[in-house]
Structure 1
């Protein structure tokens, strides 16, 4: 009896194996993008170094502008040219409009309750609608111009107070962006300029958020290693979640307390926090806006309005301080258009093409996100003749695209002049320059971000002379936003009449 059972089991196993083999042979051969042969278990994770976009860039030189890797058992496609970016972000935008379920979205974005990591669907559409109507409409942005003016004055005053001393410029840029963003989004700073500890704590949390949201977490790709947390990233994400959650709870509780004493006629003066809390109480809302959703939306705005703008200005200054002719040419333009008796205002930007060209060149060579936040295939799709499977993660390497010799002459050189006399779109239709992404997932805050970058860079160049206190370092520190590995340290001397500071 035992022998008969063993024979039956072996026969069944052989039949199953033969059936599976025949089924595979009958399936049409899939034409997947080229790429390196994956190792068992880890796939191609061994090929990704500490600066992932550079690793992908060097791999693309061998395998081409579209290539497929394996992270663990999961397929990952990397697009490294404007044409391939267009395929994923415009031609097949609906297929790749969602996000992969990564640890960063779970642990630092209230279980995908924000807009950055939210899957494509009703919640994401509601978040985008709120952003476009309540934060980034032309009317809303204009209504907060006085905030940006006041914080610009605070920035130049702080820099004048430390003139002659070496300063880490990024700290001052972040102070401007955090202060302005908090006031525009939360209604007030939630720290005083004299309270260095509170500001440094908030800046530290934002720095950690960007680092962890750009991290390649091994357990995202090899799930059975999750319990080990080999890199320690998940533990750090949970710690950061608790710190950020305490901050958001403090902000929300403060607004709820103040709402109780607000008269109905004062509603027009409510901040975004107040409006989100009111929407959360609306039973007729198509999608339930939970307290965690409110926190996630506020967190996206706080993060998106601070680090990205500061990093762009720091990269621009790192580049132009290595080329005195660029600073000289920019200052000549500012003196000619603005004069020496006032600061640069937002309505001056259209008359400053060279300063604008510096910003565009910085965004080309040092994009805000060297890898756009990952896209994810919701269905099988054929892209540029290649078969892309449902469940594939797609990465757009804007760092490679900005160095594409087919799109840019002398791509490794910092040459603002390449943009002079040309109409170059930065908002998603020119796939050779994608500082804000493109398609459905394009950053909705691009207009406000550009205003803040232009304001900081133009006024710093207009009101100060720079001397390097330490050599400029162009090495990168990777994250969702990539910074100079070594912060820019300068000595600044004011050049405008003292009463302007």
Structure 2
């Protein structure tokens, strides 16, 4: 969130006084009505905007961590007209995602999201908890993202990883830096899109550009989202128009995409292999489902899977490589392991990944320090309930600050340092049972595509460590590497990661 304008800063003392008087009257009115709810503690608020000013000038997960240090592990914020509870400890996360998982098993859908995804056409991310969501989740885990299905896309991943390595090797003359952020984004996007909609789709670049625009729109909280009951917010905001335009573009494009797949299936002119869209269309045609799978549902699932499969993988890979450059000891240890395991090989395949124990620790440690979704995906309280002794009213949005929990000295020794060896004993993992470390979430709403994403990470990282030594651009030291984040759908690096690759093991030509 951008810094507050100067004129608002000058008004803050006056607004603070007004806010105190307003809150005093609100509390008095509630007591007069006999309200006895024990709500989580909150910082001081301003009229209308609530606690938004506390988030100004900082990334949300960082600002919320700082507020939680003063106000508690479970904290209530009012962001405009939205009541939000933030869980910032492993105990609070365990209450939300295990003990009270059913009460928090649905997702909030903002006014702007609803303009793009009509009621009843949700995929897996935004679907409300119920029979439709359970069915879609089952399809994802059994049909789309099962171990067998993920393995079936191994040739696609290995081909795209080879393309990534060739691009690195040929991107610039020796001693020139390559934009590794850009190359990793292309790798993750192409690997995901080929698995989801197939190599035969001729307009893949247009599809990628359209979804990138959509991701940027979904990442923003607009005035109508912050003030959902305000007609004025809808009138003055440009976001509704942008969302409607994006929906129109998406409908036209996705209709053509589905039609292309349906025609190919009817003509049986494929190679016998199903991409994930083929699987969804087959399940729809078979029709043996308690809740009908509509074409709009299928389109939403395709968009959800792309966002989950590409954006998060690219973000994680960039942070992993950045941390390795900042920690030469860890880089050397990881490269030594990879090169011992693959000695004499020309290429890295997925058969080689099983022996790379330390590299997996590196991935875990990077996910601890840099979870791609630092606040996870928001949940919504379905039924009024208690968390850690506080009342959480129905309709409240709940964020779990996985980033803050993973850097809490209460759970981690030297939490700000990059030390993969902390996972050596195997006692803590990211599979949703250790609430000190939940980059993929936990409970019913845990990310179903974890295996799909991790194999992309492992294959690309092993290739980058095996084939290349890595140096910083001329004149840079490890401590100079900018690790500033920016917040979009994921917590990306603000600056592209530019590194100098030095070929150690030649990359085979195509």
Q: What is the TM-score when the length of structure 2 is the normalising length?
A: 0.86
1:88-487 equivalences in 2 (<5 Å)? 88-111=96-119, 113-163=122-172, 164=174, 165-188=176-199, 190-191=201-202, 199=205, 201-223=206-228, 224=230, 225-230=232-237, 232-262=238-268, 269-281=273-285, 285-469=289-473, 472-487=481-496
Mark the runs of 5 or more structure 1 residues left unpaired by the alignment.
1-20, 193-197
**1:229, 1:235 within 8 Å by CA — same for their partners in 2?**
no
Calculate the aligned-residue CA RMSD, in Å.
Answer: 2.4
Residue from 87, 94, 112 that aligns with 1:79: 87
Change (3 A) 1:497 1:126: same
- In the aligned structure 1, how far is the partner of 2:467 from the partner of 2:127? 42
Determine which structure has more spread, i.e. the larger CA radius of gyration.
1
Range 343-352 or range 93-102, more displaced:
343-352
**1:110, 1:293 within 8 Å by CA — same for their partners in 2?**
no
- In the aligned structure 1, how far is the partner of 2:144 from the partner of 2:360? 24
- In the aligned structure 1, how far is the partner of 2:442 from the partner of 2:350? 25
State the Cα deviation string for residues 451-473 of structure 1 (Å, max 9, x = none): 11111111101111222237532
State the Cα deviation string for residues 176-223 of structure 1 (Å, max 9, x = none): 22222122121226358xxxxx63x54444443333333223322313
* 2:4 alignment counterpart: none
- In the aligned structure 1, how far is the partner of 2:458 from the partner of 2:287? 42
Q: Secondary structure at the match of 1:69?
A: strand
Mark the runs of 5 or more structure 2 residues left unpaired by the alignment.
1-27
Range 391-400 or range 173-182, more displaced:
173-182
Range 253-262 or range 116-125, more displaced:
253-262
Q: For this pair of structures, how many residues does the alignment match?
A: 472
Range 314-323 or range 161-170, more displaced:
161-170
**2:234, 2:240 within 8 Å by CA — same for their partners in 1?**
no
**2:112, 2:224 within 8 Å by CA — same for their partners in 1?**
no
- In the aligned structure 2, how far is the partner of 1:26 from the partner of 1:160? 71
Q: Secondary structure at the match of 2:358?
A: helix
Return the offset for 1:22: 9.9
**2:169, 2:507 within 8 Å by CA — same for their partners in 1?**
no
Change (3 A) 1:170 1:235: farther
Q: Secondary structure at the match of 1:395?
A: strand
Range 137-146 or range 377-386, more displaced:
137-146
Return the offset for 1:310: 0.8
Range 37-46 or range 445-454, more displaced:
37-46
Change (3 A) 1:229 1:48: farther
- In the aligned structure 2, how far is the partner of 1:464 from the partner of 1:243? 41
Range 490-499 or range 174-183, more displaced:
490-499
State the Cα deviation string for residues 10-52 of structure 1 (Å, max 9, x = none): xxxxxxxxxxx99954635211111113222221122223511
**1:42, 1:222 within 8 Å by CA — same for their partners in 2?**
no
State the Cα deviation string for residues 116-162 of structure 1 (Å, max 9, x = none): 11111122112111111221111111122121111111211222221
**2:166, 2:507 within 8 Å by CA — same for their partners in 1?**
no
Q: What is the TM-score when the length of structure 1 is the normalising length?
A: 0.88
State the Cα deviation string for residues 345-389 of structure 1 (Å, max 9, x = none): 323333222211111111011002011111111111011111111
Q: Secondary structure at the match of 1:306?
A: helix
**2:140, 2:448 within 8 Å by CA — same for their partners in 1?**
yes
Q: Secondary structure at the match of 1:483?
A: strand
Change (3 A) 1:270 1:488: closer
- In the aligned structure 2, how far is the partner of 1:262 from the partner of 1:325? 54
Q: Secondary structure at the match of 2:499?
A: strand
1:66 aligns with 2:66: no
Return the offset for 1:270: 4.0
- In the aligned structure 1, how far is the partner of 2:201 from the partner of 2:132? 28
Return the offset for 1:483: 0.3
